Structure 1
Amino acid sequence: MISMDRVLHSLVCVSFFVGWYLIQYALLAFPGITTYNDALAAWPLFTILFILPYSLFSRAYYQKRTGLMPFGTVRFSDLRLPIIAMVILSVATMFYGEDETSILEMLALSPLHQFILVVSVVFAAPIIEEIIFRGFLLNAGMGYGPNGKHVMIIITSVLFAMIHHQYNSPATFIMIFVMSVIFCHVRIQTNSLMAPIILHMINNAVAMLLLFLLNDTP
């Protein structure tokens, strides 16, 4: 029988996820944000100034109350196989994916906006998304046995792929889904949130580096 404490814990975890989802719409209330290009330029700074603090404070409060979301420690041996899997996945996506217009539009931003974008994508986004998805959302399904864990990994990964709605290629969505599954397993096996954060940062850093190198025009 499932205890009420377990159900309440799951609802609390989901509420933090819902809070993260809703806070993103606050950007629409900012004056001057009327077009997609406006949002593209403002989003990285909004992420750093508002969404990152929300995620960090939520995680700190939850960890203090439950102890179920430690940053933990990381060993290279924990990252070796996931990194190899990420490389294979990225190479496969390069062959079967399509050019994403939303990514190319980033190159039209000013140098200052590009710098803020890099900080947001490489550092802020991995911390935020791992806390929200591999932290709160994954924890919502823990404690319900092996089936509950596996179902929550799938749900977490589907939602993680869906929130990256700026992409158009099915191959990109599949890549993001599989990447999330990898991050979920790493989080569970290491009991460390830092491990998937580092993997996520590596993935985003390589993606941003290739974006600027391969599209650098004289």
Structure 2
Amino acid sequence: MQQEIDNAYIVRTKAVSGCFSMFMLMFGITFTPLFFTRSAQLMESGLLLPLMFVLEFLILIPLYYLFFRKRDGLGKGTLSAKWFVILFGAILIIQFLLPAMLGMRKTEAWVMTQVSLHNYAFWLTNLSLIFLVPVYEEIVFRGCLFNAFQYWFNDKVWATSLVVSTLFALMHTQYADIRTLLMLFLISQVLIVARVKSKGLLMPVTLHILMNATVIGIQYGVQVLLSSG
């Protein structure tokens, strides 16, 4: 009996270590552009970020399908229309009402840079932000990392959500305003609710995609109006 318990503990510990390794791998890939011989030219042309996004996607997604998609909470789950509408409404409040409440009058410089790109750099960057980044970020943060910390915190969802959301916010180093990091923390909390309620990743992934598409679309529209005026 004791041997069976020990074996089960070893198996689960290895599984959790594998989940955390996905986060560390994504973190490591983030710095790979620094080692590109033409990183300065790629950054200047606006191609460095989409290259990194595609690289992360091509590495992390196959690993997910091979090792993680059948694990508890890492499958599709169920997509509830009621909860989807409620949670997307919460995301819209955080994205568009909270900044005014916090006195944020200027859009982050990084966001304006992305919607100001030209030609293929604009499309590669923003389509990646809409369709690629949300998929692997949800797999890593609301999927693998959530599972790992939930195990370490003895299934305490509230403690797990606090740590995962903090890491999610801090990983977005392109933002300079602490209030933006607070917004990211809250967005992560909403996406965690989606993950817990749906018992899977389809709902948080879909919410994340729709959020990015909405924010980028509105920012681009504002940019076009300002430039034409």
Q: Could you say whether these structures have the same fold, taking a TM-score greater than 0.5 normalized by the shorter chain as the test?
A: yes
Q: Deviations over 1:74-127 (max 9, x none)?
A: 231230210111121122333122421111222442211000112111110100
Separation of aligned partners in 2, 1:212 and 1:75:
30
> Mean alpha-carbon deviation: is it higher for 133-142 or for 90-99?
90-99
The one-letter code sitting in structure 2 at the alignment partner of 1:91 is F
- Return the letter of the residue paired with 2:150: M
Q: Closer, same or farther in 2 for the Cα pair 1:64/1:187, shift >3 Å?
A: closer
User: What is the 5 A alignment of 1:24-103?
Assistant: 24-34=30-40, 37-38=43-44, 40-48=46-54, 50-63=55-68, 66=71, 68-95=73-100, 96=102, 97=104, 98-103=106-111
The residue that corresponds to 2:142 in the other structure is 134
Q: Following the alignment from structure 2 to structure 1, what is the Cα–Cα distance between the partners of residues 194 and 70?
A: 23
Deviates more, 1:162-171 or 1:138-147: 138-147
Query: Matched residue of 1:71: which SS?
Result: coil
Structure 1 Cα separation of the partners of residues 19 and 109 of structure 2:
34
CA RMSD across the alignment: 2.3
Indicate the residue corresponding to 2:174 in structure 1: 166
Quote how far apart the aligned CAs of 1:128 are.
1.2
**Aligned to 2:29, which of 9, 16, 23?**
23
The one of 119, 134, 139 aligned to 2:127: 119
Alignment check: 8 A CA contact 2:46 2:121 kept: no
| Structure number, greater radius of gyration | 2
Give the letter for the 1:157 counterpart.
S
**Which residue of structure 2 lines up, in the alignment, with residue 185 of structure 1?**
193
Q: Structure 1: how far apart are the matches of 2:130 and 2:41?
A: 25
Secondary structure of the residue aligned to 2:40 is coil
Gaps of 5+ in 1: none
Match of 1:200 in 2: 208
Deviation at 1:31, TM superposition (A): 2.2
Q: How many residues align?
A: 216
Once the 2 structures are TM-superposed, how far is the Cα of residue 66 of structure 1 from its aligned partner? Answer: 3.7
SS in 1 for 2:89: helix
> Any conservation in 2 of the 1:71–1:193 contact (CA below 8 Å)?
yes
Question: Once the 2 structures are TM-superposed, how far is the Cα of residue 67 of structure 1 from its aligned partner?
Answer: 5.4
In 1, Cα distance between equivalents of 2:63 and 2:124: 24
Match of 2:118 among 89, 110, 115: 110
Using the size of structure 2 for normalisation, the TM-score is: 0.85
